[in-house]
Amino acid sequence: MSQVTFTTDDFKGAPALTLKRGSCMIYEGEVGDRVGYFIVSGSVEVQTECYDGTQTLLYVLKAGSLFGELRLMGVDERTASIYTAEETVLLKINPQIWQDRMQDVDFLQRVHAMHLQRYLKTTDAVRRLGQSSVTHRLATYLMTLPEWHNRSSKSMDVVLPSHSQLARMLNCTRERITVVMQQFYKSGAVVKQNHQICTISQECLTKMLK
């Protein structure tokens, strides 16, 4: 399933704002203003609170993505917390702009497809956290990356999240992720190509999940 994206043309007239890294845009459970946001540049982390009070990273949204739109669609409380992962430029979408765009069939279809992708990402996050060990959680995450869709090969090159982001996604410490990643490198499940790109082996990951 290809990633759904939007453009600045979708939200003409929406004011722009620039935020520093680490800014909290939305708090889970709050009932705030009826506004949504479009990411022009930068990225944000979507986090949720676990029963023990820890914050878990569900996924990262990058330029071309929306967040907070459920408030514009009638949902009272925010369903997750949103933090900027770097300096980020956003467009602030008010109810009038949203309602105008909702009259467009193509826009509606993209919103529907986006919500389906978010549902699948959240389901994957819940599945990861249900695994018995960090090794299994990480292997499950790598096996369910959306880049695998419509691929026939048993390996692929990807840009993985940082160790800090992976730790929050898998509900463990950064130090633990570093140790587990060394196991993945040793087994050949993950092979570093450079400081950003890694090659992932589906065959090796399957063995680690057995």
Q: What is the DSSP letter of 160?
A: P
pLDDT digits (tens, 9 = 90+) for 5-26: 899 999 999 999 999 999 999 9
Query: Per residue in 48-77, pLDDT tens?
Result: 877 666 778 889 999 999 999 999 999 988
Q: What is the pLDDT of residue 53?
A: 64
Residue 102: how many CB atoms within 10 A of its CB?
13
In one-letter notation, the amino acid at residue 127 is R
Is the pTM above the cut of 0.85?
no
Neighbours of 112 (CB within 10 A): 10
**In 3-state terms, what secondary structure has residue 166?**
helix
Q: In a 10 Å sphere around its CB, with 0-12 CB exposed, 13-18 middle and 19+ buried, how is residue 80 labelled? A: buried
Q: Residue 33, exposed/middle/buried by CB under 10 A (0-12, 13-18, 19+)?
A: exposed
Share of the chain above pLDDT 90, in %: 51
- Where do the domains of the chain lie, and which CATH numbers do they carry? 8-129 (2.60.120.10), 134-209 (1.10.10.10)
pLDDT in tens, 134-193: 888 899 889 888 888 777 788 999 999 889 999 888 888 888 899 899 989 999 999 998
Tokens of 14: 């929406």
